[in-house]
Structure 1
């Protein structure tokens, strides 16, 4: 698996560039939509052609316009969820790796407890009582932060006795200063790679909740919501289902490839 991916992405910068373009274009898509996302432009399930390049959905709305605008909220929620998980996980990992002893054992036990429950199950339970976006963020935090904490704790414990860190300690620098100025910069590649994985997981959780009707509600344009809305008419207008599925899968691929490339670059640097 990994050798094949390396051949398809010979330069680590290529995957990172693709992910950067995706993250830039998705929020701008709604400004290029030819029609309003809630405007009826033709009869329901009209095939591609004419004024509706990708046809229409169950209510006669332009599929292209809804696809162009459908990734903004999904990506924003996923980015927020991933950032929350990475930040909390990094803080816990630094504390466990630097302090060791009881602190490390407490963090590891907390991580084991959280990882025992599937992320999607957490999201489904939370979505019953919380708004969809909040459920995605909390579920991503509870399922992603433990994984980040584990890898950060292992690496920060290894850096605890490194030369530049010991020199900073002997100079009398405070613990917070040592962690921020010496340890954290050495972990930037690892944290960046882990951020990509947390973002993919958050995107999957957000998509699953939307497909199940626990995320954005109609008439909000959303790629995952469009999958469930357009499934009944797939025989009449297949693009109603394929059009949102392709960019959703493309985002996951770009982000996963970028995370893999950053991981490979970190391994080479080490």
Structure 2
């Protein structure tokens, strides 16, 4: 219970942190690399901007893009897995084989190819879908194939219910814990991928606050004000940990 409250609080702060910043995150307020002090709990960054304000404002877009990417990957993977696990067609077997093939591709390489033709957020979504949906499809397909021969499914079919109705009314709810855990894993993957692309310069353009961009911008002054690096790094870790914690809760309650 306490872990759930903490994870929810972290997500709420990430999504609404800009309102808590209390200061314009792009305004210069001190000398570059100013140490923490009164009015600047975490000091200033390379351009003299308030690090705390930038950390509070820098996670919303990253979290929203990651959520969209994770939701897309999970939805496509679950839909494909239900179909592939229930159907006995050659097309279903081909879809599973294709998912196995996609799993061997390096995710970051796929994302880097995507940013050649797509802007940052769509590239993250495309990379997460191509890297995450195949695994989701494979897992859900195996679970669905096993459920097809379960007693509750055979009983529903013997009552004359249609296969599609059984699939969505009986099998899909039985996979709720699996899907909740998978969504959390896709979200963590999307956060990591978004951060990686933003560090490489494919995220929001300066001077917009962004945790990953803060790592790149403040690396030269790590020795002058370590908080400029530690704060965004800790924020990324907290976000990933909160998502992972909530996914465990969803899996355990289902």
Q: Which TM-score bucket, shorter chain as reference?
A: over 0.9
Q: Which residue, out of 223, 229, 243, partners 1:241?
A: 229
- Quick check: 1:154 aligned with 2:142? yes
CA deviations over 1:223-246 (Å, ceiling 9, x no partner): 111100111111111111111111
- Quick check: 1:188 aligned with 2:176? yes
1:19 is displaced (CA, Å) by: 2.7
1:60 is displaced (CA, Å) by: 1.1
Q: Could you tell me which residue of structure 2 aligns to residue 59 of structure 1? A: 47
Distance 2:220 2:120 in 1: 24
Q: Which residue, out of 124, 127, 136, partners 1:139?
A: 127
Distance 2:190 2:212 in 1: 13
Q: How high is the TM-score relative to the length of structure 1?
A: 0.89
Q: Could you tell me which residue of structure 2 aligns to residue 124 of structure 1? A: 112
**Residue ranges of structure 2 left out of the alignment (5+ in a row):** none
Q: Could you tell me which residue of structure 2 aligns to residue 23 of structure 1? A: 11
2:11/2:242 contact within 8 Å kept: no
Distance 2:102 2:96 in 1: 10
Higher mean C-alpha deviation, range 175-184 or range 16-25: 16-25
CA deviations over 1:106-129 (Å, ceiling 9, x no partner): 121110221121111111111122
Q: How high is the TM-score relative to the length of structure 2?
A: 0.94
Q: Could you tell me which residue of structure 1 aligns to residue 154 of structure 2? A: 166
Q: Could you tell me which residue of structure 2 aligns to residue 5 of structure 1? A: none
Q: Could you tell me which residue of structure 2 aligns to residue 93 of structure 1? A: 81
Distance 2:7 2:113 in 1: 31
Q: Could you tell me which residue of structure 1 aligns to residue 90 of structure 2? A: 102
**Residue ranges of structure 1 left out of the alignment (5+ in a row):** 1-12
1:41/1:52 contact within 8 Å kept: no
1:142 is displaced (CA, Å) by: 0.5
RMSD: 1.7
Q: Could you tell me which residue of structure 2 aligns to residue 36 of structure 1? A: 24
Q: Could you tell me which residue of structure 2 aligns to residue 47 of structure 1? A: 35
